[in-house]
Structure 1
């Protein structure tokens, strides 16, 4: 499906020098910049980014992260958002899409698909380089690949996805691990 020129969100806060790749162009980001479908956000070392999508979904990106805003259709019969998470750490709180029963909100990674159901979650590659996913609060998150699927249904529950393996059985992440995950995406003032 063709991307629209209409903005899907905007930059709220930045730390450091995050930038966006939009087609063949690259530009530094500043607060209040509009974001569009197919934008690839690049957050270099020492940088962070906080953005808000039109439906009030809020996303924090930590340093050394990349995220593509692949697909955004919230004002339709079948609302859907697809993000492509390439590396780093992200935290997300779903907006209005999380309150719609027929909505489809997914985050694609190289090792698994993360499906979100009106929740706050964290995903990242900061623990031994494998994908970690934790539910911070809300209705639930599923993590699946061709080898298996797990459901995260309670706060602090997490899973790890190692390339070539099914997602690990859900376990409660210790408070120190949750804190380290959240600190990886924290932006002062955000």
Structure 2
């Protein structure tokens, strides 16, 4: 029965694709595309709002109509800009806020490939000299859905401060909403309370 339903669903999907309709989604609307946006717009700009917005506009991103819905959540209540990646029908958004808060919000994507793309992107940055340290890797349930949370401490080559990078992704392969975020971390004190060096 499952096989039959799967075949029917596949045939329905093929027929739906054959119908004239909206333009196909761009490469930005893929797990690798979302990770690339995040690394280039958020991480490599050191989460600076102006640099992130300039990068996005140069790639053809367009500002999102503030009346579309609550953008405050994506901006963590800070002033900033929300832009949609071209060719994604608004499913991939970049939010750059003052205070160096930068988020990529990807809808209609499976979680595991987004998580893998993020891990591979950060491994590539580490291979080029950046310091990348995984601090949290946990699964949790919220509103009936299971998600994975990853958090890294990141320091770019030549940088004096650390960034906190986070990824919250769904565990299953069904399309869902995935979130990637970066923000500055407080400086690590040179000495612990017991007087021992922290590094």
Shorter chain as normaliser: what TM range?
A: under 0.3
**Higher relative contact order structure (alpha carbons within 8 Å, sequence separation ≥ 6):** 2
Q: Per residue, is there more helix in 1 or in 2? A: 2
Tell me which structure has the larger Cα radius of gyration.
Answer: 2
Q: Per residue, is there more strand in 1 or in 2? A: 1
Q: TM-score of the superposition, structure 1-length normalised?
A: 0.25
